[in-house]
Amino acid sequence: MSTQSPPITTEVEIVSVAEQAPIDRPDVPIPLRKISADEILSVVGALLGSFCLVWVLFDYVLPFGGGLGFIVSWYFAFLALYAGITGLSHPRPVVIDRVMGAVFIGMGLLVGFVLVTVVVYTTLQGRDVLPHWNFFTQPASAGSLRGPYNKGGISNIIMGSLIQVSIAVGISFPLGIGTAVFMTEVGGAFSRVVRTVVEAMTALPDLLAGLFVYAVLILKFHGHRNGFAVSVALAVTMTPIVARSAEVALRVVPGGLREAGQALGASNWQTVRRIVLPTATPGLVTALILSIARGIGESAPLLIVSGFTTFANYNPVDGQPMNSLPLYIFECLKSGEPREIARGFAAAVVLLFIVFFLFAITRFLARQKVTTR
């Protein structure tokens, strides 16, 4: 009788990679763009080498000079030298990537330099007027434009701009929102025509808006050159901006929200009013602020449909002119008198900070819109 031994089984313990890895290791984000020492040294070397090369050429070789020409030549020499240094140790895609990065950084620095130059130059030209508090609290009629800085101001000028822009917003915002709703929610062949007209009006010179209001409202209907005429001219320039920005805001609303509203039995208008418009509110507010920032700085329509005065007038529909910041700046700067020019630059500083404040609000709302999604 033979005895059979039981089969020998070998248990193999399989340990996964996940079990071998430590569990308590924190998640560390991988940097997508890390500047290496090689790239830093390449930039520094290209900057110094191109500066020395252009300096030698401008002083000893080339027959021309100048600060602007030196900077432009230095920039292009830097790009060429930077591409050559990078190509010594990197393939062509890396060279193209770094050179294009340097090009776009240079463009950004140029725009920033121009912006800072404008702000600093305007502020320096109006530095003698800005420290006087009466400049912000008194009307222009309280003093002479050529008189001392401690008498007179621009309080009525600021109020005139605010009144005109407020009326223009009341006209342009409903028209722009309605146009955007028609282009996005109604559609059809006619919506393409409307979109083409809106895009054409966006590129329309602002002077033509003033000429249109002057020919129709003042000459045809015998109106007056007052604050209301200015508001209508500003509304003509602000409406396409509101329409285009609001159209973009409405288009990014998910289509599933519209389908859900219609699936619950809501009509198309109820879906737009209760779902689409509330969802796109941050974008619509951004469109409103952008149009205000554009309208408050317009000067071309005001030269035609508004008259200049230093006296306070807060009634936009009477027959008297109502002054505003752009028109006040224009009249002061064209006079040639030093005190008037200084007052014009000080008013330009006020206008600059109003526009910067509006754009800062726009950026904040746009950031809130992105982070809440």
Choose one of 104, 125, 146: the last residue of a domain: 125
Q: Give the tens place of pLDDT for each residue, 105-139.
A: 989 999 999 989 999 999 999 999 999 999 998 88
Q: Which of 280, 289, 287 is nearest to 250 (CA)?
A: 280
Same domain (yes/no): 333, 288: yes
Say what the pLDDT of residue 261 is. Answer: 85
Same domain (yes/no): 149, 179: yes
Give mean pLDDT, residues 269-274.
Answer: 88
Give mean pLDDT, residues 256-269.
Answer: 85
At residue 369 the predicted structure's pLDDT band, cuts being 50, 70 and 90, is low
Domain range for 330 is 135-371
Is residue 338 within 8 Å of 247, Cβ to Cβ? no
Same domain (yes/no): 184, 237: yes
Is residue 152 within 8 Å of 140, Cβ to Cβ? yes
Same domain (yes/no): 200, 89: no
Number of H helices, E strands in the chain: 16, 0
Find where tokens 């071998």 sit: 20
Instruction: Retrieve residue 169's tokens.
Output: 């917003």
Instruction: Retrieve residue 352's tokens.
Output: 């600059």
Q: Is the pLDDT of residue 260 over 80?
A: yes
Say what the pLDDT of residue 31 is. Answer: 55
CA 284-289-290 angle, 5° bins: 95
Say what the pLDDT of residue 179 is. Answer: 92
Q: How many independent structural domains does the chain possess?
A: 2
C-alpha torsion sign, points 23, 25, 27, 28: negative
Q: Which residue has the higher pLDDT, 238 or 369?
A: 238
The SS3 call for residue 213 is: helix
Say what the pLDDT of residue 12 is. Answer: 43
Same domain (yes/no): 311, 207: yes
Same domain (yes/no): 292, 232: yes
Choose one of 65, 94, 125: the last residue of a domain: 125
At residue 175 the predicted structure's pLDDT band, cuts being 50, 70 and 90, is very high
Question: What percent of the chain has pLDDT above 70?
Answer: 88
Same domain (yes/no): 245, 103: no
Q: Give the tens place of pLDDT for each residue, 207-249.
A: 888 888 888 888 888 778 888 988 998 999 999 999 999 999 8
Secondary structure letter of residue 307 according to DSSP: -
How far is the C-alpha of 348 from the C-alpha of 152, rounded, in Å? 16
At residue 37 the predicted structure's pLDDT band, cuts being 50, 70 and 90, is confident
Same domain (yes/no): 171, 238: yes
At residue 306 the predicted structure's pLDDT band, cuts being 50, 70 and 90, is confident
Is residue 115 within 8 Å of 133, Cβ to Cβ? no
Say if 29 falls within a structural domain. Answer: no
Same domain (yes/no): 300, 367: yes
What is the reported pTM?
Answer: 0.75
What is the CATH number for 287? 1.10.3720.10
Choose one of 125, 154, 178: the last residue of a domain: 125
Q: Give the tens place of pLDDT for each residue, 312-348.
A: 888 888 878 888 899 899 889 888 888 999 999 999 9
Q: Which residue has the higher pLDDT, 144 or 271?
A: 271
At residue 173 the predicted structure's pLDDT band, cuts being 50, 70 and 90, is very high
